[in-house]
Chain A
């Protein structure tokens, strides 16, 4: 167990629907990162939050949004779902932000597998 908790583990839904993926970071970690892992594109960075504020943005679609709450858990909202959104969505957490050090290693959760039919 990495200490990063993601729910749900599996989710099947239909095109056009909206889903919310949830992440609880490791205790003491202030940064949360979201990644998408699909068959043809590997791990793609979506977005990062630090202590409730957005810090970095990657290839996140406008149909997707995220937030980090005061208790530091984060939610990734995916709306108007398309078949191509089917993927594994990973959350990772780290202690800090803005720089990398041995103490700022990203710890990943087990992921949420989204299937859009």
Chain B
């Protein structure tokens, strides 16, 4: 399940700093927005989700912000660690279509 080789934008962050990964979505009718993390050799793993009627949700070291006005989603990772190095995908779920549509992804590189 490698994502190495994908032509993706890269965010380089120093260990201990906060990371902000952004995503623009297209469908204003989407019901949920989800962030997935894909490490080398694995499939995407669920991190956190947010319902469309919310604008912020916090998890452990992660926060997702939703701005429906500009159709923008962001994932904030506090105190970034080497284990956070991965490709991060945002995804939107539309109930009427009953499917999950993924964004293009961002590669997060954590430097020591």
**Chain A residues proximal to chain B, CB less than 8 Å:** 2, 4, 33, 35, 37, 39-40, 42-45, 48, 55-56, 58, 88, 90, 92, 97-100, 102, 105-111, 113
Contacts and interface: CB of A to CB of B under 8 A. Distances in A.
* Max chain B C-beta neighbours (<10 A), residue from A90, A99, A108, A109: A108
> Chain A CB within 10 Å — which of B1, B45, B49, B98 has the most?
B1
Contacts, number: 74
Interface stretch (B12-20, B36-44, B60-68): B36-44
Interface residues of B, number: 30
B25 interface: no
A4 B6 contact: no
A45 B98 contact: no
Given A33-B100, A98-B98, A90 B43 contact: yes
A102 B93 CA distance: 12
